[in-house]
Chains A and B, each alone.
Chain A
Amino acid sequence: QKEVEQNSGPLSVPEGAIASLNCTYSDRGSQSFFWYRQYSGKSPELIMSIYSNGDKEDGRFTAQLNKASQYVSLLIRDSQPSDSATYLCAVRGSGYSTLTFGKGTMLLVSP
């Protein structure tokens, strides 16, 4: 059974701070890792993907991957109230497989 674990939160940070969202996964053969953002009452949207160990930056977002530790994280710099949402970690195993989603971490950014 492939598992993806996230702290459900809520994670509360003040505006302008760095928000750190974490995810662990059980399938050591996993190859691809994704972060989706889901606003309340809306559907998920892809914000980051990462495929190799290390950091990947896109604007205020940085995804970090450590395959040896089976750990992936998302950092949001200069957090804004508009970043308040649930963040879903998703993992794709080896081969032609579907995504396994974590249950999500709710982020609250206070003005």
Chain B
Amino acid sequence: DVKVTQSSRYLVKRTGEKVFLECVQDMDHENMFWYRQDPGLGLRLIYFSYDVKMKEKGDIPEGYSVSREKKERFSLILESASTNQTSMYLCASTLTGRTGELFFGEGSRLTVL
């Protein structure tokens, strides 16, 4: 069974803390994505990666960075968390050539106090 696993389902952090969100997929997918989902705003793309050590900015990259050192792992980093980064974060992966067919993880709900 295909799987995208996000390391933490729920996190509570304080303003200014550094936050790491980890995502691992076991499907040998080349492409990995980080989205955030907020009520009334829908799914918005933060960063994506088409290959190891490669990253591309999405629609809302400000305040975030990413790391992809291994094919199966894609990390989202909040260097200095702020309250407006309180959100549901969703990781997804897909095969090259099938970038519309995303497999999502269960999500990480981050609250920044």
**A residues within 8 Å of B by Cβ?**
32-34, 36, 42-46, 49, 88, 90, 92, 96-99, 101-104
Contact = CB atoms under 8 A, between A and B. Distances in A.
B102 interface: yes
Contact of A92 (B40, B42, B100): B100
A96 B41 CA distance: 24
Given A92-B99, A98-B48, A43 B42 contact: no
Contacts, number: 45
Given A92-B99, A99-B102, 7 more contacts: A42-B106, A44-B90, A44-B102, A97-B99, A98-B45, A103-B40, A103-B41
Contact of B106 (A43, A88, A96, A103): A43
B107 A43 contact: yes
Contacts of A92: 99-100
Interface of B: 33, 40-43, 45, 48, 58, 90, 99-107
Contact of B102 (A33, A42, A46, A97): A46
A60 B113 CA distance: 45
B23 to A, nearest CB: 12
Given A88-B42, A92-B99, A101-B43, A43 B33 contact: no
B91 to A, nearest CB: 9
A102 B101 contact: no
Contacts of B43: 44, 88, 101
Contact of A99 (B41, B99, B106): B99
A104 B40 CA distance: 9
